[in-house]
Structure 1
Amino acid sequence: MTRFRPCIDLHQGQVKQIVGGSLTDNGAQTNFVSSHTAAWYAELYRQHNLQGGHVIALGPGNQEQALAALTAWPQGLQFGGGVSVDNAADFLAAGASHVIVTSFLFESGEFSWPRLEAIKTITGADRLVLDLSCRRVGDGWCIATDRWQTVTSTSVTPELLIELSSHCAEFLIHAADVEGLQSGIDTDLVRLLGDASPIPVTYAGGARSLEDLAQVQQLSNGRVDLTIGSALDIFGGNGVTLDECITWNRDH
C-alpha cells in the first residue's frame, strides 16, 4: 500500500522547501525556511515511527545539519546529496539506514556502470537507494543530476528500472519540473513507476493534499510511496497536516 514518506531538505545549512527546478549554484526560489533544525524534524519523525524518510543535502554547507539528523534517529532516515565512494561509508556509520546516490553515477552525462559497482561494494545493494530524479523530455523523462541542473541522456523507462533493480534496495524519484510547486503530481510518471518498478519506489513532486496519497495509491496499485513537502503544515503549507499523513499510514 502507498505510504507517506517524510523528508528533510537542507539548503545552505537550513531546513527549507524550495522549487526544485529553480535550484542553481546561486540559490533557489524558496517556499519555506524553518526555524527548526534538521535534528528536530528527525526526532519528530522518530516519535511517530515514520519510516523510510530521506535527508537530502542540496549543495554545500549542510554536513553539520545532516549528521545531526542522522544522529537523532539512527537507522531511521536515508541520506542523499553528494554521496560518493569517498563518503558513503561515513554516512552509513553516522546512522543513515541507506545512502541515496545520483550524480556520482554519471560521468560526462553518461551513466557509469563501473561507478555503480564501485559504490555497491561499499554499501551493498541492500543499503543503496538510486535517485532517478528526472525532468520531462518530449513524451518521457530523463534523469537530471547536479541538483537537477544537468539533464542526462538516460531515460526513465521500464527497461531501466528493471535493469537497475537488482543493484539497489529502492528508487527515489523527484519529478523536478513540479517539485515544490504544489501543482499536482505527475500522474504519468507515477503510473509508470507503479507498473514497472520491481522494488520499492518513492515519488516526490507536486503533492498538495491528502487526496494525492489516494491518487498515488490508485495510479500505482499501492506500489509507489509519496513524499509531501511544501504543502505540509510542518513546512509552512496549508494543504495537508502531518497528523493526517500519520493517520493515513496507520490506516493503510
Structure 2
Amino acid sequence: MTQFRPCIDLHAGKVKQIVGGSLTDAGATTNFVSAQGADYFANLYRQHGLQGGHVIGLGPGNEEQAKLALNSWPKGLQYGGGINLENAKSYLDAGASHVIVTSFLFSGGVFSLEKLNQMVKLVGAEHLVLDLSCRRTDQGWNIATDRWQTVTGTAITPALLEQLASQCSEFLVHAADVEGLQQGIDEALVSLLGKHSPIAATYAGGATGLDDLEKVKTLSNGRVDLTIGSALDIFGGSHVTLAQCIAWNQANGQ
C-alpha cells in the first residue's frame, strides 16, 4: 500500500530543499536551508518509525552530514549521491540500509550492464536501489544523471523496469522537471511505475500534500510510495505537516 517516505537532501554540506531542474555545478534555486544537521532529521524519522527514507548528496561536500544521518539510524535510511565501487561499502558500513546508484552505471550517457553487475556483486541486489530519476523527452522519460544535468538515451519503459528489477531491491524515481516546484506530481509517470514496476518503487517530485498521497495511491493501485520534500513543514513548507504524513501511513497500513 502507498506510503509516505521521508528524505534528507544535502547540498554543499547543508540540509536543503531545491528546485531539481535548476541544479548545476554553479548551484541551485533553493527553497529551504535548515539550521539543523542531517542527524536531527534522521533522529526525527527514527522516532516515528519512518523506514525507507533516502539521504541524497547533491554534489560534493556532503559526506560528513550524510554519515551523521546514517550513524544516527543504522539500517533505517538509504544513501545516494556519487556512489561507486570505491565508496559504496563505506556508506553501508556507516549505517545505510541500501546504496542508491545512478550516474556510476552510465559511461558517456550510455547504460553499462557490466557496471551494474559489478555493483551487484559488491553490495548485493538486496542492498541496492536503482535511481531512475528522469526528465521528460520525446520518448517519454529518459534517465538523467550527474545531478540531473545529463539526459541519457535510456528511456524508462516497461521492458527496462523488467530488466533491472532482478538486479536491485527498489527503484527511486525523481521527476526532475517538477522536483521542488510544489505544483503537483507527474501523474503519467506514477501510473507507469504502478503498472509496470515488478518491485517496490518510490516517486518524488512536485508533491504538495495528502491529496497527492491519495492520488499516487489511486494511480498506482497502491504500488508506489511518495516522497514529499519542499511542501513539508519541517522543510519550511506550508502545505502539509510531518504529523499528517505519519497519520496517513498509520491509516494506510504502515
Q: TM-score, normalised by structure 2?
A: 0.99
After superposition, what is the alpha-carbon deviation per residue over 1:163-222, rounded to whole angstroms, capped at 9, x for unaligned?
Answer: 000000000000000000001000000000000000000000000111100000000000
SS in 1 for 2:203: strand
Amino acid at match of 2:160: L
Code of the aligned partner of 2:143: I
Residues paired across the two proteins, number? 252
SS in 2 for 1:141: strand
Residue 137 (structure 2) pairs with residue 137 (structure 1): yes
Give the corresponding residue for 2:87.
87
Partners of 2:139 and 2:55 in 1: how far apart?
A: 30
- For 1:26 and 1:157, the matched residues in 2 are separated by 32
Aligned residue type for 2:243: D
Structure 1 residue ranges, 4+ long, deviating more than 4 angstroms after superposition: none
* Structure 1 partner of 2:194: 194
Counterpart of 1:12 in structure 2 is: 12
**How far, CA to CA, are the matches of 1:8 and 1:191 in structure 2?**
25
Aligned equivalents of 2:59, 2:110: Cα separation in 1: 21
Q: Which residue of 2 aligns with 1:155?
A: 155
Q: Deviations over 1:99-150 (max 9, x none)?
A: 0000000001100000000111111000000000000002500000000000
| RMSD between aligned residues | 0.5
Aligned partners of 2:19 and 2:29 also within 8 Å? yes
SS at match of 2:238: coil
CA distance in 1, matches of 2:106, 2:15: 27
Q: Which amino acid aligns with 1:104?
A: F
1:144-166: CA deviation from partner (whole Å, max 9, x where unpaired): 00000000000001110010000
**Residues 109-188 of structure 1 mapped to structure 2, 5 A cutoff:** 109-138=109-138, 140-188=140-188
1:208-248 Cα shifts (integer Å, max 9, x gaps): 11110000000000000000000000000001000000000
Q: Which amino acid aligns with 2:31?
A: N
Give the share of equivalent positions with the same residue, in percent.
Answer: 68
Match of 1:246 in 2: 246
- CA distance in 2 between counterparts of 1:244 and 1:181 reads 21
Q: Which amino acid aligns with 1:218?
A: T
1:237 is aligned to 2:237? yes
CA distance in 2, matches of 1:159, 1:242: 36
Residue 54 (structure 2) aligns with: 54
AA paired with 1:101?
A: V
What secondary structure, in the 3-state scheme, does the structure 1 residue paired with 2:166 have? helix
**Cα distance change of structure 1 residues 240 and 159 upon mapping to structure 2, 3 Å threshold:** same
Q: Is the 8 A contact 2:139 2:155 kept in 1?
A: no
Matched, 1:41 2:41: yes
2: CA distance, partners of 1:50 / 1:6: 7
- TM-score, with structure 1 as normaliser: 0.99
